[in-house]
Amino acid sequence: MANRQLENGNGARRVTVRDGASHALLDDVAKQIIEQLQEDGRRPYATIGKAVGLSEAAVRQRVQRLLDAGVMQIVAVTDPLQLGFPRQAMIGLRTDGDLESVADRLAEFEEIDYVVITAGSFDLLAEVVCRNDEHLLEILQKLRTVPGVVSTEAFVYLKLRKQTYSWGTA
């Protein structure tokens, strides 16, 4: 089995995980723990333990394993507008050559918080949070210099109507 490097959004924590290893961690209890944390990421482990039938220590250990395996992250979701970033955009990219290496290169950009390989008219989508339109233009110019990027198209967010992270578990 191949190994892969995982890191959280700010790059502070890196873990090596065997491909497929995360699926072994997802028994019914693990899924219940995840669902509890999706409802409230600050829910005490003792409360979660009562809901899923485990001790506080057992929940703490299971959560740590899920974090280490990259199955989930526990983060503060912020409002970029209130933090001084009034411009957000989704950028569609068409590429040539090795798609995964281009995606990996984009993931290194500090301004990009989301990169996904897609099917359809774009090969990649990247979400950016910017200080202003000039900052967005700087990012677009930087993206266009990445080897393998053929073209970009920016979709500027005008108003966010829904954002959720509580899709549950399969």
pLDDT band, very low/low/confident/very high, at 25 (cuts 50, 70, 90): low
**pLDDT at residue 18 greater than cutoff 60:** no
> Does residue 125 have a pLDDT over 90?
yes
CATH of domain 21-69: 1.10.10.10
Average pLDDT over residues 101-126: 95
> At residue 83, does pLDDT exceed 90?
no
Single pTM value for the model:
0.68
Domain ranges of the chain: 21-69, 85-156
Instruction: Give dist(CA 122, CA 99) in Å, integer.
Output: 11
Q: Which class is 85-156 in CATH?
A: alpha beta
